[in-house]
Amino acid sequence: MNQKLLSFLAVGALLAGAVGCNDDDDWKKVDGADPTLNLLQTSIRTEGGQTINISGTLTDADGISTILLWCPDIYLKKTIDIIEIYGEPLTSYDLNYDFKLQKYKTADQYDIEVTVTDICGNETTQTVVVTLDGDYTAPTFTVAPSAETTVLMGETTTSFSLEFTVTDNIGLDYLIVSVNKYDLSTKEIGESISSFYPMTVELYGKTKYSYCEEVEFDNEEGAYIVQVEAYDLPAQNNEVRSSSASGTITVLGGVDFSKMYLADVATAEELNADVFGVPMRVDRVGECQYRARYYNQKANTEIYFIPQKGALSPICYGIDPTDDTKFINSPGNVLPLVLPQANTYYEINFNTDSGEYSVATYEVADYMDPVFWDYGSDNLNMWFSYVDTGTDDWVSTDDAWMQEFYFGYATGPTDVIRFTQDSTNPHLYYWDTPQSYSAGEELNFMIQNYHSQGWWNFVSWRVDDSSECDIFYYYGNAIKQAYLDWYWGEDVADWKMWRDSEDYRKQLIYGGSGDKWAKPTVNNAGDYYLYFDTHLGRAKLVPNQP
Buried b (16+ CB within 10 A) or exposed e, 113-134: ebbbbbbbebebeeebebebeb
Determine the 3-state secondary structure of 71 from DSSP.
strand
Task: Give the orientation angle of helix 478-488 with respect to helix 493-500, to 10 degrees.
Answer: 150
Report mean pLDDT in 10-residue bins for the chain, 546 residues: 40 40 66 94 86 95 96 94 95 96 80 96 95 82 88 88 90 94 91 88 94 90 94 70 91 92 93 94 94 96 95 94 96 95 97 97 82 79 49 49 85 92 96 92 93 76 86 70 62 61 48 76 92 94 84
Q: What is the DSSP string of 12-35?
A: HHHHHHHHHHH-TTSPPPSS-PPP
Query: What pLDDT was estimated at residue 11?
Result: 38
Q: Which residues contact 129 (CB under 8 A, 6 or more apart)?
A: 42, 43, 44, 109, 110, 111, 112
Cα–Cα dist 40/42, whole Å: 7
CA distance 60 to 81: 15
Query: Among 531, 494, 181, which residue's Cα sits nearest to residue 364?
Result: 494
* DSSP secondary structure code for residue 72 in this structure: G
**How is domain 140-252 classified at the CATH fold level?**
Immunoglobulin-like (2.60.40)
- Residue 157 confidence (pLDDT): 86
DSSP per residue over 316-330, as a string?
A: -EEEETTEEEEEEE-
Q: b vs e for 242-259, b when ≥16 Cβ sit within 10 Å of the residue's Cβ?
A: ebebebbbbbbeebebeb
CA triple 217-243-539, angle to 5 deg: 85
Count of alpha carbons within 13 Å of 165, Cβ hemisphere only? 16
* CA–centroid distance for 198 within its chain: 30
Domain covering 31-131 in this structure, CATH number: 2.60.40.1930
CA count, 13 A, side-chain hemisphere, 310? 24
Q: Mention the CATH class of domain 260-362.
A: mainly beta
CA distance 277 to 264: 11
Percentage above 70 pLDDT, the chain: 82
Nearest partner of 479 among 400, 387, 399, 407, judged by Cα: 387
As a 3-state breakdown, the chain gives helix, strand, coil percent values, each rounded to 5, of 10, 45, 45
**Residue-wise DSSP of 454-467:** S---SSEEEESSTT
Q: 136: left (phi > 0), else alpha (psi -120 to 50), else beta?
A: alpha
Residue 130's DSSP bridge partners are: 44, 110
CA-closest candidate to residue 275, choices 435, 461, 462: 435
Report the SS3 class of residue 383: helix
Q: CA 292, CA 359: separation in Å to the nearest integer?
A: 10
Note the pLDDT tens digit of each residue in 163-181. Answer: 999 999 888 999 999 999 9
- The residues, any chain, with a CB within 8 Å of residue 68's CB and separated by 6 or more, are 77, 78, 79, 80, 113, 114, 115, 117
pLDDT at position 104: 72
